[in-house]
Structure formats: C-alpha cells, structure tokens
Amino acid sequence: MGMSQGYGPTDDALSLSTLRKSLALGVTFWDTAQSYGAGHNERLLGRALAGCRDEVQLATKFGIVRDDAGVHLDGRPAGVKAYCEASLRRLGTDYIDLYYLHRIDPGVPVEETIGAMVDLISEGKIRHIGLSECDAAQLERAVAVHPIAALQLEWSLWWREPEDDVIPAARRLGVGVVPYSPLGRGFLAGSPLPTSFGPGDFRSGDARFVGPAMDRNQDAFGKFQVLSERLGVSPAQLALAWLMHQGADVVPIPGTRHADRVAENAAAGDIQLTAGDLEAIESTVGRAEWAGDRRSFAAFHTQRTPL
C-alpha cells in the first residue's frame, strides 16, 4: 500500500526495485488491493511481475472503492465479478491466488458477497477466498458458505485486540491469520518518526501517534528496543519474530518502499525465540504498555456514505 498511498510521496522506480529485490530474497507472498492508489498499486505490481507471475502468491482485495465521490464500501454481489476482472487487467494476470473482501459492506449480508466470490473460483479467476477486518460472527457466517483461506487484520505488539475473539474464532474455523501493519505503521521499525505528518500520511489521524498516547508508546518502544539489542536483532525483526512465534498459521505482511528494509524484515523469519524470550517480551511490553485506540482511525470502514 505504501508504494501508492498512505505514507507520503511515492517513487515507482524505487518501488519496482524493492519488489524485485524481494523476489530475489524469496519473499513471494505479495498483498495489494484495488483501493491502494485507486488501482495504481495493482498496476505497479503487474509491472513487477511481468515474466515471473508464477513465482508469487498474489493477494488482492476489493470492497473499498476510491473514486471521485470519495471512499465507500461496495460488497454487492452484482459488482464482484467486474471488480475482479478489473484487478486481473491491472495486475496483468489471468488468476489471483487469494482474493479478499477488503471490508464487509454493512448494507450487504456477507453470505451474499462470499457467494459471488465462490463463482470466481469456478470460473478459474481466483483460487482462494479471504476476508479482511471482519468480526468473529461474520467470519463464522462466511465459512458456512465456503472455506475461508485467510483472515487479514491489524495485529502487532501494540495492537492486540484481535486476540480476544476473532483470532480464536479463525483458529477454531481453520482460517489462516495474516497480520497487516505488523510493525505498527512503522512505529515498531525503530526509524525516527517525523514531528508532524505531511499531506498524504494517514498516521496523522491515528490516535496512537498523538499526544500522551504517543509519549507512552515511545516509552514502551524504548523498553522494546533494549530487548532487541539484548537479542542482537533489530526492533523490526523482533516484532515480526514475535508475531511468527504466535503460531504456524500466522503470516505477517510488513510493508516497505525500500530494499534494505525488505532484507531486514525477511531475515526475521530465521529468528528463533525461546520461551524465556517470549516471556520477557510479554512482561516488558505486554498489551497494557501501549496506548491509543485505532478504531477511531478505522471508523470510515464501517460507513457506506462517501467521504
């Protein structure tokens, strides 16, 4: 996403170089969406995948629409096939490995949207179905229509609410877990953050980056950094390793625009944490150490009215 929107100015040449570096490193699960840059991100990945499409497990999403009217949700069954075909054209491929409903449209029963997605499997356009940011009850209803391969949601050391209900539900239902923003929208990566966010950087609307919550989070990160130094890894690597140690069903998708960060993140897959390491992380920077509620930032996803 960050290669097309959300974190300030982008550079296609830099992004393409980073994507190609990720392939060389064996990073072969790529995630995009029709809404990222209003189609720009899918076209960018299509350029990067020319000649090497089958080397990547490609995931994209539909359901959040960015157009001249603003941002709105659309999960109507009648539109699912057209959204998929548009993504296929932008990506330059004839199939999508994992196709997500990006957000559930509150005006459409999830069963109806999933039913339309099942038709895409029978047509060979997609291979697996996923959901993004649903609750436990919605996931249960979706699985009753068709097996759901993956649930994408925000999950990291500094946002652990999904552990209360939706992750246990996913595990009970045999659904894989794909945490996005596993580095806390860059916060857990250890890079110096700007004192203020410029135009196009959506972190300016996230309560975790503002005021007393940010001060508290900076304190927690300082403790986390000490732990990472003790283990001889970067904070980003430790944050990713912690997630991957939550279960074999967890596949985090850290985003970046820079090749050196791809290499750093990929190396996290080789880190082995002991039970003592995990206990130290929990006792030092457990859930209660972090502040700020991401739900106010994400509230527009529950609205149908264009913004």
Q: Give 80's contacts (C-beta < 8 A, 6+ positions apart).
A: 62, 113, 116, 117, 119, 120
Residues 124-183: tens digit of each pLDDT: 999 999 999 999 999 999 999 999 999 999 999 999 999 999 999 999 999 999 999 999
Question: What integer is the mean pLDDT of 43-54?
Answer: 95
What's the pLDDT at 300? Answer: 40
Residues 2-38: tens digit of each pLDDT: 888 877 778 899 999 999 999 999 999 999 999 999 8
CATH code for residues 12-302: 3.20.20.100
By annotation, the residues acting in catalysis are 36
Structural domain spans, the chain: 12-302
Computed on alpha carbons and rounded to an integer, the radius of gyration of the chain in Å comes to: 19
Confidence check: pLDDT of 305 > 60? no
| Whole-angstrom distance, CA of residue 76 vs CA of residue 93 | 24
pLDDT confidence bin for 197, thresholds 50/70/90: low
Q: What are phi and psi of 122, to 5 degrees?
A: -65, -25
